[in-house]
Structure 1
Amino acid sequence: MEMCLLFLCVIFGVKGYTITNQIQLHEDIFNRKYDKVFRPGENRAIPTEISIFFYMKSLKEFIESDGKIGIVGTLGLEWVDYRLVWEPTNYGGDLNRTTVFVYDIWTPYIVLMNPYDKIKPVLLQELSCKAWETGYIQCLPPNIFDASCDADVTFYPFDSQTCTLQLYAPGFFSSEIKFRPVLSNFNMDAYEENGLWSVESTRVYVKTQHVENINFEILQLEIKIRRRSTYYIVILLPIFLINFMHILVFALPSDSGERVGFSITVLLTEVLFLTMIQEKLPEASEPGLSYLIYKLLVDLLLSYLIMLVVVVSSILYNKADAEEPEECMKTESKFIKLLCKRKQEKGDKHFWKDAGKAIDKFCLISFLILLALNNIIYFVAVLAEVRF
């Protein structure tokens, strides 16, 4: 048994360094007149290359009215600092990596260029990084990136939003620091789904900004999110049904006397539903109002018109039969009968009740067409944005 353990130790090796070796390593490294003010590189004409990748953990929030997006993730940073090279054999034989703190070494001072609140560095002084024997440094600082992002709610609730986190290193030109994305998109292996938004695509790229004679690089972390619209459809569906139900008031008999009451009840119900869902509607006015707001406004105006027409129709229906309607009412009554393919008999008389019934039939068809057109125009307008 002892021989087997000895054989395994010889074949696979055993970590032999101690904490004393690690302390000695740190003393030796930082006693070499290491100055963290200066970026790595003996030849100052060669820029320091920073390899970058982004791990996205979750979408914290997206607030349209405030123009704010919050992303929880880790911006991985890697570079080589040849001042931190050592020989492992001098420190227990296998001390090939150690932990260093940000406040002890040179690190790129990277900040968010479009923060929602205040500017703060990505690498905080209290964070730690890993250093390898070759001078390779890796930092994985977790962070919450709260950035400003203008929302376009034109197609709400079937909208998608594209936001970009812009990061740069103030004080360093493109001739001094180069950003090199390791991946062209976010690493989503540890991503936790958001209940309101789904991530459609991500992109990581570098943009060179020119300001007078100065060039500096901006790291662009772009994310496209789409609203999960099922919840909003369920909320808005009763509004659509109420509008179509309101048209049925013209199918009620005028003798029942409930037409005006029914119309007012439906109108109040619609107003009540709109009051309940108003907090769900987007408040942004730029770059444009949501098509849904225009659609709901037209629906509400049609409901008011329906109620007014019902009142007028009821007044006409209850007029004395001895009074013949005006010539225009007679013409409309004849036109409705023609549409209904009713043969006009010679000597037919037209009374106010006929005029009221004619208005009912005309309005039933007209408002049905108008309401259908309003919905069709809305859904056609947003169809290009919807992906089933």
Structure 2
Amino acid sequence: MTSLLSNYSSKIRPIKNQGGSLQMSIDLFLANINDISTTEQKMTTTGYLKVKWTDELLVWNSTTTGMYWMQFNQKDIWIPDVVVKNGLTAFKMMGGDFYYIYVYNDGAVYWYPYTVFETSCDLDVTHFPFDTQTCSVIIKSWSYSRWEVNFTIGSDKIDAGEKMGYSVTIFLTFAVFLTIVSAELPMNSDSTSILNVYLIIELAISIMGIIISSVQLRLNHRKPGKKIGEVFCKLVRAGRILRCEKSNVKGCFLKPCRGADNTKIDVIDCKSKMENYPQDDSVEEEEDEIEWSDVSSAIDFFSFWILLSVQIIVTVVIFSYAKSN
């Protein structure tokens, strides 16, 4: 570490061509939405950033050293002066001297600054309670232009863990709502309110959502080398067919589908496509490759439509019964 930092300056961008732009990817992971104030027009959230870039001056031979990564204190190496542009608290750089940054032997740098975001948010309650609000957390480098430091959105997506947290929130919402409604209903030991029955069914649907999210989370994080059962493979193939994706028939759709813009997708000429494929089994095996993330996605696809159908049927039946009586 000492030899790497001997001629290193934390005030200079870590690229050999100082006329070029340093490419950085950034992801925002929300841990909690603490508060949304309509009167103060602000949103308070807790979370952290995942900032990745390549430091061309911190590269070493992992074969000779036996070290593939090291941790550096934030103050010892160059980091971008990341700030929250639409923040409402003190304007300061994220991170701190107690932060340690992961640096790998190829120069890849990973920085995870954690903070509480208090950001401005224009809230329009004209259509409440059927309104949709969009709040932004604007992150930028204050001292560098995009020609010097260019931020791009990273590739990390929402995982099943966030879905499970959302499912638990919905469950607790219905539980609290059921408690409030039960307290306001007249006491009667001979009959049960239809509204109570409806809320109990909603609780059951929420519990099913939590169970499904738990299964998704477990399957999504299974080791890639673990064998996938035939049932899961059939589920993935069925989901691909229903979503108009290619199955393992070497580039041919099983039937015509329509895209998002309502344009017809014609059936691919299988005969002409087959002529372009090599006569071996390598292509078929490649196209038939299924990972555990595909299994999790297929379960999510089918669960969404099944629970949505149950939700619609239950709502229509119960409220139709209540209206008829």
What is the TM-score with the length of structure 1 in the denominator? 0.42
TM-score, with length taken from structure 2: 0.49
Q: Which has the higher strand share?
A: 1
Higher-Rg member (1/2):
1
